[in-house]
A = this chain, B = another copy of it.
Amino acid sequence: MKLITAYIQPEKLSDVKQALYEAEVFKLSVTNALGCGQQKGYHETYRGVDIEVNLLKKVRIDIAVNEEFTQATIDAIIRGARTGNIGDGKILVTPLEQCIRIRTGDTGPAAIG
């Protein structure tokens, strides 16, 4: 099992959800995040004083998947999130040793979906 974590542009969330849905990935968790990457951020002035904003608004998605869904999930995220502009984001894949459904106590691949 893998844990797929993606940082994407906030306004792309619904597209990514749609793409995942089409790839038959129905379960995910979403967190609000700030990110700092190649995107340079921007300068504001508040009351005439400079203020550099380099932590931009991002959305973080976490999806636990079974091995065989890994690539399909990654592809779906890319399909939904890519615009070709800097700031599109990253996908990180970490190994997942165990998954448990709290309601039933199911474990392992059966508990993912």
Interface residues of A (CB under 8 A from B): 2-3, 6-8, 17, 26-38, 55, 58, 60, 64, 74, 77-78, 81-103, 105, 111
User: In the docked arrangement, what's the CA distance between A92 and B26, Å?
Assistant: 17
User: In the docked arrangement, what's the CA distance between A55 and B111, Å?
Assistant: 20
| Pick from B26, B29, B102: contact of A77, CB under 8 Å | B102
Inter-subunit contact B29/A36 (CB<8 Å): yes
Q: Take A82-B102, A92-B99 as given contacts and tell me if A36 and B64 are in contact as well, using a CB distance cutoff of 8 Å.
A: no
Inter-subunit contact A102/B93 (CB<8 Å): no
Q: From residue A40, how far is it (CB to closest CB) to chain B in Å?
A: 10
Inter-subunit contact A93/B84 (CB<8 Å): no
Q: Take A94-B94, A97-B94 as given contacts and tell me if A103 and B84 are in contact as well, using a CB distance cutoff of 8 Å.
A: yes
User: In the docked arrangement, what's the CA distance between A89 and B62, Å?
Assistant: 14
Residue pairs across A and B with Cβ atoms less than 8 A apart, 15 shown, are A3-B94, A8-B102, A26-B37, A27-B36, A27-B37, A28-B35, A64-B92, A74-B100, A77-B102, A81-B102, A84-B103, A88-B103, A91-B99, A92-B99, A93-B99
